[in-house]
Structure 1
Amino acid sequence: MKILVFLGSVRTSTPPQPARVGERVARACVAQCGRDGHAVVLVDPLDYDLGAAFKPHFAYAKGRAPAPLEDLAGEIASADAYVMVSPEYNHSMSPALAHLLNHFGSSLFAFKPSAIVTYSAGQWGGVRAAVGMRAFLSELGCLPVSAMIHIPAAHTVFCADGRFSAEVDGTRWTSYMERTFSQLLWWAVAARRERDRSGVTGPSPAFLRDPSQRNAP
């Protein structure tokens, strides 16, 4: 399986301390998802210059999108599953993650599963952001699995490279995260098998040209 782990933060300064707590969480997800030999790619928004003006990938003529958008579109299309890592802003998902994902239509994500991972420096682990993320990811077509991961005081759970810190029980955390990622991989295998059998999207394709393709008569 090929899995994309989306880091939903572009913050590089303090506070909070340490900076880029989300990168720790995302690197931990990469390590956990790759334990059985799966190909895991970390998607960091800081690595993609999307320009100041918003124009989504699908709004460009074929082959005319800027290289960063084209490259990421290829990664999304070739993936079997997605892990979305987000902090919580005003009870909602990260604006950086929403901005990045909004550049791409559901035709790239459709008929593949996703997993929701939230974190915070406080006690709730970003759980309230996950509520809106379910609807957002469902609209993209990459339905989130039922199990989710919420990480309170994330800066104390992970080291900078994504390893568990000495302050926590890494075995228990691994078991907790594995519950979600095992669901993700089960659905990823099943979805890829069905895409191969039915011809990518089968009888209910994602809209490719205009949202009106989903309208009632």
Structure 2
Amino acid sequence: MIVLRPARLGLRIARACAAHLAAGGIDATIIDPLDLDLPTPFKPHFAYASGRAPEVLDALARQIADADGYVMVSPEYNHAMSPALADLLNHYGNSLYSFKPSAIVTYSAGQWGGTRAAVNMRTFLSELGCLPVSAMVHIPHAQDVLSEDGTYAEGVDSDRWAGYLDRCLQQLAWWAEAAEKQRATSETTEAFNRDPSQRDAP
């Protein structure tokens, strides 16, 4: 029996974004939810006693804390972001993400490019404290735009697409630099540094 599955498109989008950032002198690390053996059933990182969290969660916490900004790459599921991405992000409270910008990059195999997921992602990322920049990227028919290695497919107007990605990623870089300087020179508000269970109470 032959099982045909659609091409996995997210990794090629992530590779393209990483390459654009690298061309601008910015180090980027791709974090793929499928590469991580997250604990099940779901238990967030902050729910473990100090020093008792699985190493995979501790390692990812360090990566999130060390980053100056985030590029969130997602397809669209039921007008919302990828369940795998949401699951990964939900393991951490907003103290790790706060005061850092994010960029939303969505894609699809069809014509809409994940735009409805992007709307959902704005509120999700804002709640985490990594406010999305205003420019977003939506890639319809992603399998025709990018090759598996993240380079532009043959026949694609690469200059047009590069300008489109760069508009978003350069905005992210600007805000990341600005936020990093501000974090280094002023104290952050307690609003993002409290335990998640305390945020809804005075």
Give the alignment's Cα RMSD to 1 decimal: 1.4
In structure 1, the partner of 2:43 is: 55
Kindly indicate whether residue 79 of structure 2 is the aligned counterpart of residue 91 of structure 1: yes
Question: 2:4 & 2:68 partners in 1: Cα distance?
Answer: 35
For 2:81 and 2:4, locate their aligned partners in 1 and report how far apart those are by CA, in whole Å.
20
Structure-to-structure mapping, 1:1-217, within 5 angstroms: 14-16=4-6, 18=7, 20-199=8-187, 202-215=188-201, 217=202
Q: Which has the higher strand share?
A: 1
Which range moves more in the overlay, 45-54 or 64-73? 45-54
- Using structure 1 for the length normalisation, give the TM-score: 0.88
The alignment-based identity, stated in percent, is: 58
Partner of 1:3: none
Partner SS for 1:147:
coil
SS of the counterpart of 2:103? Answer: strand
Contact kept? 1:207, 1:213, Cα under 8 Å: no
Gaps of 5+ in 2: none
Equivalent position amino acid for 1:118 in 2:
T
Structure 1 segments of 4+ aligned residues over 6 angstroms from their partners: none
Distance 1:144 1:14, change over 3 A: farther
Q: Deviations over 1:137-180 (max 9, x none)?
A: 00000000000000000001111100001121111100001110
Which blocks of at least 5 consecutive residues in structure 1 are unaligned?
1-12
Work out the number of aligned pairs and report it.
200
**Aligned equivalents of 2:193 and 2:179: distance in 1?**
18
User: Structure 1 residue 15: deviation in Å?
Assistant: 2.5
